[in-house]
Amino acid sequence: MNSRTGQDSAGLRARAEAASGGLPALMLSAERLAASLTVGAHGQRRAGTGEDFWQYRPATAGDTARSIDWRRSARSDGQFVRDREAQVAQSAVLWVSAAAGMEFAGGPDRVAKRDRCDLLALAVALALLAGGERVALAGQPPRPGRMQADRIAEALVSRMPLNADDDVPPAEALRPGQRVVLFDDFLGDPAPLLAYLERAAGLGVQGALMQVLDPDEEGFPYGGAVLFRSAAGALRHDTRDAGGLRAAYLARLAERRELLGRAALAAGWHFGTHDTASPPAQAALWLWSMLEG
Amino acid sequence: MLVLGPLGFLAPWLLAALAALPVLWLILRAMPPTPRRVLFPGTRLLVGLRDAHPVARHTPWWLLLIRVLAIAALIFGFAGPVWKPAPHLAGQGPLLIVMDAGWAAAPDWAARQARALQALDLAGASGQPAALLVADGAAEGALPFQPAAELAARLRAVQPQPWETRYPGDLAQLLAQAPAGLSVLWLSDGLDHPGRAPLLAELTRRGAVTVVPPQGPRRSLQLVAGDQPMLRMRSIGEAAGALPQILAMGVDPQGAPRELARLKPLQTEPDPGVDTRLVPIDLPSELKNRITRLQIEGQESAGAVVLADDSVRRRKVALVGDASASEGQQLLSPMHYLRRALAPTTDLIEGGLGDVLQASPDVIVLADQIGLPEAAALQEWVEKGGLLIRFAGPRMAASEHLAEEPLLPVRLRAGGRDIGGALSWGDPRGIAAFPPEGPFAGLAVPPDAAIRAQLLAEPSPDLAGRTLAQLSDGTPLVTRAALGQGQLVLFHTTANAEWSNLAISGLFVEMLQRLVQTARAGAASVEAPASAQTFWTPVQVLDGFGRALDPADPVPVSAADFGKGPGPGRPAGLYRAGERMAALNAGGRMQSATWPGARVEARAQTPGTDLRGGLLALAVVLFALDALGSVWLARGRSPRAIA
């Protein structure tokens, strides 16, 4: 990835042009994806400001005369106030890992993990915005509206990858009541993520972990003598028989998933996986259901 | 040395390393292949994993073959392979090296030493004792047999001697300590020497004898004494083609030593087995007198060098005249003209007759002397080869006893003859042309030469035979007669301008030089004073290679030993005794040696072709191929380009 950071401004600009050229395509596919999701406000299952009837309750001191439901009060002696279900526009925070490994694609015909994450994140953002929610990328203030989708898309495309193997979601940006979706391969050091989940649970923040992997990472189709190198070059592993490592690797991968799943469950989060070879709609639907619930 | 068929190995134990080749094959086969480089984000999950079944990727067989071949070539190369090595000595018993160490062994001495050292190495390797017999005449007593390694230093120090190879006489004593089953290596100089046949017979009786003949021809140079000294060049084993020339070395007029002339061998003398040629020293006397040494070109041997001594060089001429004449006017003295004529080409001695006889001159010139008191001694000197030249003069003409005067070639008539004087008729006579067979043949007679007075010879039957030069009227001018080994010469006129103008012409100088050259120089001088115990002291000696050295320790040699030629204690060289200078030259008669009962090594024996260089080069080439092949392989598994 050094080659990327080392590019001169002209190269960066050319890349930005190319990326912005891909922006409409991303928006388009994200919109198509978002269209398949069910749109709606989120009932809070309690009285509050909203449009749906929630309950009648006896008027108490402090209720204004305007709030008394006269039609219901006429049927009895007391005065009743018509409560509506509390309806708040939720703020959702999306975070896509910028780790160097996210640029990985198992083959020239594959989608890089980062691109798939961008697509999923934007699709979810579009769906949420269409539902009137306030959405932002992590570290930015959530805003509603169509314009916010464009900003998010722009930020996703123009974001530069890190020259490191690990990227950590900003725990200090967590706010109570937020919904958070983390997109990552979660192949890095799990400790910061577990700390993040703990803090999120403490703040009452709910959300989902979306693990996006390349089929190569899921299947480990290597054999013979291989020198494995992490994307940033920090880690190496030399083997003479890569094929013999497959089972151990898959076991470790499963262990990692189980660890994440348990941690997510403990924090009230959801953990889902997706590989770039399968259609993105599946993952988008799953995410939507998780966010709805 | 290990010999397998036509192949020999100098260090055969190295071949044991070949046993390691199969092991090497396995090791090279299992060599870890270059890994494929893969970028993989999940590497963290792999860290710490162990390979369950490391599967070695095999090195391609051709690369393996190249490597194994290269290492095999290295092993074979360092084992010192020799193609068709020189065969071994006959027998493998205790080694006895006989080195001919005379002058004839000098030309290829280094090769002989190398051959002997090689044999010593072999004997040392097989643990056999060895002995070295250096046939330079110095070996005495029983020959000690030592471990071969201790002999090498002595063998390197041995040098050829400037005398003939000499074998020890007492063979039984010599070989007293010799063990049985000898293996003899005889490095011969190719010539027969006294005592060789008995030694060979004794050695063949005790063991196997291998004879290494010399490389190249053996040549010797000898001076043939005589009126005209010549050289005799003998050679054995001369290849057909151009004969070597004889270099005449000497000092040039500036005093720097240089090559003065090259002499060509001419006639062939019949001599079975030996190519013998005569080489005349056909040089102007000026040049000839400056020669210090004659040597065969390209033959580094004391036998191919002749040091010039009195016999080649200037004659010693004694002038005996009237000493009182020097008190008068110089130009009237006959001694003046003789001195001027002879000084450039000869060594002059002047004095009374008794004094100069002690110096044993080659020529004595008497100018108008009569009634000699030492006539007996002078006659003895002439009979031993001296040349006595006498000049007539007023005293002889006035003598009443001229008819009884001894030591004259012809009987003279008393009174003499005046021609062209004031009281005589006729004109002075010229000189007639010289007869073509006489010593003055070819000399040009100046037309103005005129003889005004002469002594006349009594007519006799042999007068014409004794006349070397005559006047235009037929009367003799120079007569000569032999006496013993010497000659008597009489000029019938004076040595000054009193009776003729001959003494002031160039002809006078030439005539005297011709006469002096006929003197038998040296012959008398070497043998003459044997009665008086003479000792010859070396002034310059030769080593075996014919190089001139200053004698480090000049040991005087008695005349009796001196006559036996060079030998131990009297190396070839220049010797001085008093005023006399004589050379002891090594070269002489040669005869080819025969070797009954011995194995003679093939003559131009090649030591075998050394294959080491080629094999090492092959190994290097194979390693280069291996490197290329490895690079080619690595190129095939370079990491994939990352988009």
Q: Is residue B43 part of a domain?
A: no
Instruction: Identify which has the larger pLDDT, A150 or B238.
Output: A150
> Which tens digits make up the pLDDT trace of B77-113?
888 787 776 655 545 678 888 888 888 888 888 888 8
The tokens 């966010």 sit on which residue?
A291
Mean pLDDT, to the nearest integer, of A144-153?
A: 86
Q: What is the pLDDT of residue B216?
A: 81
Cα B106 to Cα B300: distance, rounded to the nearest angstrom = 7
Closest approach of A120 to chain B, Cα-based (Å) = 21
CB contact under 8 A, B55 and A256: no
B289 and B332, same structural domain?
A: no
The neighbouring-strand residues paired with A272 are: A210
Instruction: Identify which has the larger pLDDT, B578 or B629.
Output: B629
Q: Residue B228: pLDDT band by 50, 70, 90 thresholds?
A: low
B64 and B162, same structural domain?
A: no
Instruction: Identify which has the larger pLDDT, A137 or B609.
Output: A137
Residue B524 has pLDDT above 50, yes or no: no
Q: Is residue B222 part of a domain?
A: yes
Closest CA to B183 of B107, B250, B121, B128: B128
Q: What is the pLDDT of residue B403?
A: 78
Mean pLDDT, to the nearest integer, of B427-446?
A: 84
A154 and A107, same structural domain?
A: yes
Name which of A237, A245, A249, A276 to mutate to probe chain B: the one with the most chain B Cβ atoms within 10 A of its Cβ: A237
B260 and B123, same structural domain?
A: no
Q: What is the pLDDT of residue B244?
A: 83
Nearest to B46 among A165, A214, A228 (CB): A228
CB contact under 8 A, B45 and A187: yes
Name which of A212, A216, A228 to mutate to probe chain B: the one with the most chain B Cβ atoms within 10 A of its Cβ: A228
H/E run at residue B260: strand B257-263
B284 and B166, same structural domain?
A: no
pTM for the structure as a whole: 0.46
B226 and B212, same structural domain?
A: no
Q: Is residue B118 part of a domain?
A: yes
| Those residues with Cβ within 8 angstroms of residue B529's Cβ, 6 or more apart along the chain or in another chain | B360, B559
End-to-end CA distance of chain A: 39
Closest approach of A187 to chain B, Cα-based (Å) = 6
Nearest to A188 among B32, B44, B52 (CB): B44
Cα B142 to Cα B127: distance, rounded to the nearest angstrom = 22
A168 and A83, same structural domain?
A: no
B464 and B358, same structural domain?
A: yes
Alpha helices in B291-401 (DSSP H): 334-342, 353-358, 375-383, 394-398
Cα angle value B16/B19/B21 (rounded, 5°): 125
Cα angle value B9/B10/B11 (rounded, 5°): 95
If one counts the domains in chain B, the total is 5
Residue A168 has pLDDT above 50, yes or no: yes
Structural domain span for residue B536: 532-584
Q: Indicate the average pLDDT of chain A.
A: 82
CB contact under 8 A, A244 and B53: yes
Mean pLDDT, to the nearest integer, of A150-162?
A: 86
Mean pLDDT, to the nearest integer, of B490-498?
A: 89
> Which tens digits make up the pLDDT trace of B537-555?
888 888 888 888 888 778 8
Q: Could you tell me which residues of chain B have a Cβ less than 8 Å from any Cβ in chain A?
A: 32-47, 49, 51-57, 643
Given B466, B490, B520, which residue is the final one in a domain? Answer: B520
Q: Residue A192: pLDDT band by 50, 70, 90 thresholds?
A: very high
Q: Residue A3: pLDDT band by 50, 70, 90 thresholds?
A: very low
CB contact under 8 A, A244 and B55: yes
Closest approach of B33 to chain A, Cα-based (Å) = 7
Name which of B46, B55, B57, B633 to mutate to probe chain A: the one with the most chain A Cβ atoms within 10 A of its Cβ: B46
Task: From chain A, pick out residues whose CB is under 8 angstroms from the CB of B52.
Answer: 241, 244-245, 248
Closest approach of A244 to chain B, Cα-based (Å) = 6
A140 and A55, same structural domain?
A: no
A172 and A104, same structural domain?
A: yes
B256 and B347, same structural domain?
A: no
Cα A120 to Cα A107: distance, rounded to the nearest angstrom = 21
Q: Could you tell me which residues of chain A have a Cβ less than 8 Å from any Cβ in chain B?
A: 99-102, 104-105, 108, 165, 185, 187-189, 214, 216-217, 220, 222, 224-231, 235-241, 243-245, 248-249, 252-253, 256
Name which of B34, B36, B43 to mutate to probe chain A: the one with the most chain A Cβ atoms within 10 A of its Cβ: B43
Given A87, A122, A150, which residue is the final one in a domain? Answer: A87
Q: What is the pLDDT of residue B569?
A: 81
> Which tens digits make up the pLDDT trace of A96-131?
999 988 988 888 888 889 888 988 888 888 888 877
Structural domain span for residue A68: 44-87
Nearest to B41 among A231, A239, A256 (CB): A231
The neighbouring-strand residues paired with A68 are: A81
Asked which of A43-57, B488-502, B505-519 is least confident by mean pLDDT, the reply is: A43-57
Given A28, A59, A87, which residue is the final one in a domain? Answer: A87
| Those residues with Cβ within 8 angstroms of residue B6's Cβ, 6 or more apart along the chain or in another chain | B83, B84
Q: Is residue B90 part of a domain?
A: no
A216 and A78, same structural domain?
A: no
Name which of B38, B44, B59 to mutate to probe chain A: the one with the most chain A Cβ atoms within 10 A of its Cβ: B44
A149 and A50, same structural domain?
A: no
Q: Is residue B50 part of a domain?
A: no
CB contact under 8 A, B32 and A240: yes
Instruction: Identify which has the larger pLDDT, B632 or B157.
Output: B157
Q: Give me the CATH number covering residue B494.
A: 3.40.50.880
Q: Residue A43: pLDDT band by 50, 70, 90 thresholds?
A: low
CB contact under 8 A, A241 and B51: yes
Distances (CA, A) of B201 to B130, B197, B395, B596: 20, 6, 73, 8
A72 and A24, same structural domain?
A: no
Q: Indicate the average pLDDT of chain B.
A: 81
Nearest to B45 among A225, A226, A253 (CB): A253
Given A29, A53, A87, which residue is the final one in a domain? Answer: A87
The token pair at B101 is 């160490």
Mean pLDDT, to the nearest integer, of B604-623?
A: 80
Q: Which amino acid is at A290?
A: M
A155 and A31, same structural domain?
A: yes
Closest CA to A224 of B27, B55, B246: B55
Residue A87 has pLDDT above 70, yes or no: no
B191 and B286, same structural domain?
A: no
Distances (CA, A) of B598 to B26, B90, B184, B189, B190: 54, 10, 9, 15, 14
Q: What is the pLDDT of residue A140?
A: 85
Nearest to B38 among A108, A228, A256 (CB): A228
CB contact under 8 A, A231 and B39: yes
Q: What is the pLDDT of residue A274?
A: 92
B189 and B102, same structural domain?
A: yes
| Those residues with Cβ within 8 angstroms of residue B182's Cβ, 6 or more apart along the chain or in another chain | B91, B93, B94, B95, B96, B203, B206, B207, B208
Residue A271 has pLDDT above 90, yes or no: yes
CB contact under 8 A, B46 and A237: yes
The token pair at A9 is 């401004």
A49 and A22, same structural domain?
A: no
| Those residues with Cβ within 8 angstroms of residue A96's Cβ, 6 or more apart along the chain or in another chain | A102, A114, A117, A118, A121, A137, A156, A159, A183, A184
Residue of B nearest to A190 (CA): B44
A223 and A200, same structural domain?
A: yes
Instruction: Identify which has the larger pLDDT, B313 or A55.
Output: A55
Mean pLDDT, to the nearest integer, of A144-159?
A: 85
Cα A42 to Cα A291: distance, rounded to the nearest angstrom = 10
If one counts the domains in chain A, the total is 2
Q: Give me the CATH number covering residue A205.
A: 3.40.50
Q: What is the pLDDT of residue B479?
A: 92
Residue B572 has pLDDT above 60, yes or no: yes
Q: Is residue B28 part of a domain?
A: yes
Mean pLDDT, to the nearest integer, of A225-250?
A: 85
Q: Is residue B475 part of a domain?
A: yes
Q: Give me the CATH number covering residue B119.
A: 3.40.50.410
A21 and A133, same structural domain?
A: yes
Nearest to A249 among B33, B34, B45 (CB): B45
Q: Residue A7: pLDDT band by 50, 70, 90 thresholds?
A: very low
Instruction: Identify which has the larger pLDDT, A32 or A226.
Output: A226
A122 and A63, same structural domain?
A: no
Q: Is residue B371 part of a domain?
A: yes
Q: Residue A293: pLDDT band by 50, 70, 90 thresholds?
A: low
Residue B639 has pLDDT above 70, yes or no: no
CB contact under 8 A, A108 and B44: no
